[in-house]
Each structure stands twice: as C-alpha cells, then as structure tokens.
Chain A
C-alpha cells in the first residue's frame, strides 16, 4: 500500500505528450483563446499607462484601423505588403533556410525602383518604365537572396546570421544612394519622386491607388501556392526541408534547389520593395522596409505557410498596429506603443502553438483513490 502511495506522489503534476494530430477546429479554438488572452493583457497594459476605460481604448483601436475610408485603405495596403513578404519567405522557410534578410531584399528592390524612377522618369513611356521597375526590383532582390544562398550551398555558411548582416549592408546602400538622389539638396531625404509627372507610379485601378498592388499581391500569392503545392520544384523544396540526406538519396541536387529557391524568395521580397516605393510611398529611406521583413517571418511561421492563414494573421497584426498608432495619438502617447502591443500579441500567438503541438497530461487522481481504498 505505502509503496503505491510513494509512486503516485513522485509523479509530476503534469507531463507533456506530443500530439499525433489535432483537428483544425480545436487548433483554431486554441489560437482564438490566445488572441483573447493577449487582448486582455494588452488592455491591462494600456489601461495601466493611460488610465483610460479599456473599452474606449479598443474603440480607438478599431477606429484607427478601419474608422475612415483612408484608414481602411492603409490597413489593406499594409496587410497586403506584409502578406507579400511573408509569401516571399515561404519557399525559403519550407526548405528550412532561415532567410531573415527580407528587410534587405525589400530595400534592394526599393533602390532599383527609385533609381529607375529618377533616371528614366521623363524618358520612357509610363507602361515600359513600370514594367522595367517590376523586373529590376525582382532582380535586385534576387541578387540579395542569391549571395547567402551560394555560400550556404557550398560552404554551409550560417544563413541566419549572413542574411541578417546583409540587411545592414542594404541599409547603408540606401543611405549611399540618398547622397546622390537627395532632393532638395542637403535634406538627406529623397522626397516624393516624380511628384508632378507620376512617372513610374502604380496607376490607379478600380478607382483606387492601390488597385494594382492588390492584383499583384494576390497573383503572387496564388502563384506561389500553386508552385509549392503542385510543381515538382515545390516538392523538391519540401524534401530538402525535411532532410537534406533524403533529398540527396532521392537524386535531388540540393545545391541547385537551395540557390533556386532563394532566388525566388529574394525576387518576391524585391518586388515588395517596388510595391512600397512605386506603389505607395514614392520615396525611399532606410525605413522603407519598416521592419516588415522581420514581422513577415513571424507571420509566415505562425501561419504554417498556409496562404489563408497568412492573410488572417497579417490582417490581425496590421489591424492592431494601425489601431495602436491611433490610440497613441489620441491619448498623447508616442507611436512606439504599437510595438509593445505587437510584441505582446506575438508572445501569446507564438506561445499558443505549444498547446497545438503538445498535450498536457495531468497527474491522474485514480491512483490516489486506490491508496485511500
């Protein structure tokens, strides 16, 4: 009897088991709980700082994100941008290649777009210039993705740190270009490029300035989804990601796959640079990428690379970001409040994945009953 008792008391309170699988409904329920919890924590934080009614604060967030027609478009635009970068990162991540250099790849795409707009703004016809911008930005991003890929494939150089460093090289390239492109002289900014002629700007489609961006992003999303799911190359990427040895055994040229995939990934991120510069801001600065390259990593990873989920996650993050910018100005806080809120949201969303992958088995009461009996 007493022996049974000692065994049961030594058993830990709970232990974790890896789940074999989880129904989609249950997984989303867990995520929903995480979102609700994170919103509560955010509310507590905001109230502690502003001493405002939390409901009022959330009303402020909603109004900031979708309160006016302009704000709705900004939210849509930011969501699409984040989505585009996340989509661009997907092939690399599927291959277990940690491309955290999206920030730099976006900047390179941005440099290409801005440079072409400045150089050929009054020379080429609008449609040709636009086409050139799209192609050049993709090539620029591609080169920035290609460099670490070559070293990863040949020397197995750590790609996380390599791509991270390239971000800062890209930022310095931007400041380097600004020296030549600044307008007015001495301002250290490029200003709005081609403000009068609008050469190289994305034309308005369906009555919106961002119509073309919407089409581009959705098209790329669809293409990448099909590429990853139904093409032979997409399959190869998945095999390399699961196990490089298996891939080699199956006769897949791993080096070629790594280089090819990173070229695609970089090109899409470069395109995102064109969407920012030609499609939205019409200028370039070191904050053109604005941390999207980093946030997109989290978006892609949390969505398990599923495009539908990516749209949802990007929308949620952008919604909260835009909302917190609004409450920051409404309650006289500085705009960095949105980073704190985004951070808290991310902690919860990242943490909840644990409960989707693992199950907690609590210590059973049964044995204790046996002891009593």
Chain B
C-alpha cells in the first residue's frame, strides 16, 4: 500500500512537467504549427526561472519567498515566450519549414539551458552549486491541513501549486478549444487556413498567439521541474527527453489536453516503472524504460488506422500558409 502510494505520488511528480509541455504543444498544434522546439523551450523556461530566482536571492539579504516565486514565474514566461516568438517569426512570417525551425530551436534551447545552468555560478562569481532554497520552498509548499489526511490527502494535496495549475490550465485550454468562438476559429485555422482566411479570421494573428501562449505554458513545465522536482537547482541534461515525451503525449491524448491529464499520469508511471517492479534485472529495466515510446507509437498507429476525424492531427499541421498560394 505504501509503495503504491509512493509510486502514484512519484508518477504525478514526473507527469506534471510533461503535462505542461503537452498542453502547450496541443494549443500550438491546433493552429497548424508542429512546434518541435518545445523541448528547447522547456529548457529555456526552466533555466530562466532559476536564474531569476537566483539573482533575486543573491542580491537581497532577506529574500521573500513570494517575491522570488513571482520573479521566477515571470522570467520563465518571458523566456519561453521569446522561444515561441522566434519559432513564430520564422515559420509564420518567414514561412520557413516548421520541422527545421523546431529542431534548430531545440538545439538552441537545450544549449541555452545547459550553458547558463552550467556557468551561472561562475558568472555570479563562483558561489558553487546554485540553490534557490527560499523560492523552491515556496514552490514546494503544499496544503497545510488537507495534506495530513491519510491516503486521500496524501494522494491529492501533497503537491506544490504548479501541479494543480497544470491540471487547471489543461482544463481551461480544452474548454477554450472546444466550447468558445476563439477556440472554434483556432481549430479552423489549424484545419484549413485558407477557409479560415476567407471567413475573415486573422490567420497569422491566431497562429502567433496560439504558438506563443503554447510556448509559455510549456515553459512552466521547465519551471516545475527545476523548482518543485529538483528543489531549486540545476543539473545539466537532467531534464532529458521529457520535452519529446510531451510531444508524444499530445498524440496519446489525441489533441485533447484533458486526456493529457491522465495520459501524463500514465507516462509518469511508465517513466519510473522500472524502479518499482521487484526483481528486475538491469537489462530488464532498460527495456521497461522503452515503454513510454513504444506505447506512443502504438497509439499513433491505432489513431491513424481508426481514422476517426476528431482523433486526427489538425489537417494543415506542419504547413505554412501563404494567402497568394492556393
């Protein structure tokens, strides 16, 4: 029972960063932009939040947790949005190939994160291992009374606020996509930009806003990882392939962030499953670690084979739109 509880808690902790990324990527893909730069953007968001908090804590004698939290949140949103803007400008305005831009952005973003993560202490004058304990503590604060309730409280209320935010954002984005006029327009842009254009929808504007907002949401995933998961420190490349898993989760959730909520739990569970299966050999563990990707591939094949319309990727995904070219 105890092990199961720990497993679920750890799976949720793993899933949150992926859920942020998947929600952001879904929003982006619904506008017809396949942003493969999301892994890079998550790195950028993570390191920017950490640096913001770090410089704040280092320059004040008595840092206030809430202020550090707001500063890091703001830094993350700005850095991730800049990543989204670079992508948007190149693919929407300059009509460059989306895959190529996305991969370049990932190269840049991962390098950006590792570079500043690796040299931030040196730039600040050699303070050794960076740690933003005060801010991270604020991020890790859970519900004071509710988290003490046995089982249910432990299961639901022992996380920092970003965990709940990830679920709330996923629900809001789904509601926006499926139940509002803006969402309808956005889906039209993703399915057939020429039709949307003819209907008077500002295609470029929708693409820009969706991509930048998507990037900002994904950036929060990086922030979550750095602040709540790692506890306010950085280790190079430790974020690993979670960004790509986020893109995979979009497929698993069939372009619906609400489905991504349980999907992130599945991915989070698969990600750490090898630790919790007793009596597994080292080689067996490596095979179990393969599962998230294999599951994604299987889902990808099933959705393409069933070809139900609402489960398909947006029709214009990956293509840039030029009005004079029909």
Contact = CB atoms under 8 A, between A and B. Distances in A.
A301 B97 contact: yes
Contact of B104 (A18, A175, A337, A346): A346
B290 interface: yes
A180 interface: yes
Q: Which of A18, A176, A301 has the most CB of B within 10 A?
A: A176
B77 interface: no
Contact of A351 (B36, B94, B318): B94
A253 interface: no
Contact of B300 (A158, A294, A301): A158
A128 B184 CA distance: 63
Contacts of B220: none
Interface string A174-199: 01100110000000000000000000
Contacts of A357: 95
Most chain A Cβ neighbours within 10 Å, of B119, B322, B325? B119
The B interface is mostly helix, strand or loop, or mixed, namely: helix
A218 interface: no
A155 B297 contact: no
Given A346-B104, A351-B94, A179 B282 contact: yes
A165 B291 CA distance: 11
B185 interface: no
Contact of A336 (B105, B111, B322): B111
B110 interface: yes
B118 A334 contact: yes
B297 A338 contact: no
A335 B205 CA distance: 38
A178 B209 CA distance: 45
B293 A337 contact: no
Contacts of A291: 107
Contacts of B34: 160
B192 interface: no
Interface string B85-104: 01001100111110111011
A118 interface: no
Contact of A18 (B300, B313, B325): B325
B286 A176 contact: yes
B286 A169 contact: no
A303 to B, nearest CB: 12
Contacts of A158: 251, 300, 304, 313
A18 B100 contact: no
Contact of A337 (B94, B105, B115): B115
Contacts of A173: 290
B318 A179 contact: no
Interface in A308-367: 332-334, 336-340, 342-344, 346-347, 350-351, 353-354, 357-358
Given A160-B318, A298-B103, A334-B118, A351 B300 contact: no
B247 A358 contact: no
Given A353-B96, A357-B95, A347 B305 contact: no
B107 A295 contact: yes
B283 to A, nearest CB: 4
B103 A156 contact: no
Contact of A172 (B123, B290, B318): B290
A155 B118 contact: no
Interface string B101-145: 101111111111011001100110000000000000000000000
A337 B290 contact: no
A354 B95 CA distance: 7
B296 interface: yes
A347 B89 CA distance: 10
A342 B122 contact: no
B241 interface: yes
Contact of A339 (B108, B251, B301): B108
Interface string B204-235: 00000000000000000000000000000000
A72 interface: no
Given A158-B313, A162-B300, A342 B248 contact: no
Interface of A: 17-18, 49, 98, 100, 151, 155-158, 160-162, 164-166, 168-169, 172-173, 175-176, 179-180, 291, 294-295, 297-298, 301-302, 332-334, 336-340, 342-344, 346-347, 350-351, 353-354, 357-358
Q: 10 tightest CB-CB pairs across the interface, nearest first?
A: A339-B111, A343-B108, A354-B94, A334-B118, A346-B104, A336-B114, A157-B304, A336-B115, A176-B286, A172-B290
15 contacts: A100-B99, A164-B248, A165-B297, A169-B294, A297-B100, A334-B236, A337-B111, A337-B115, A343-B104, A343-B109, A346-B107, A350-B96, A350-B101, A351-B89, A358-B95
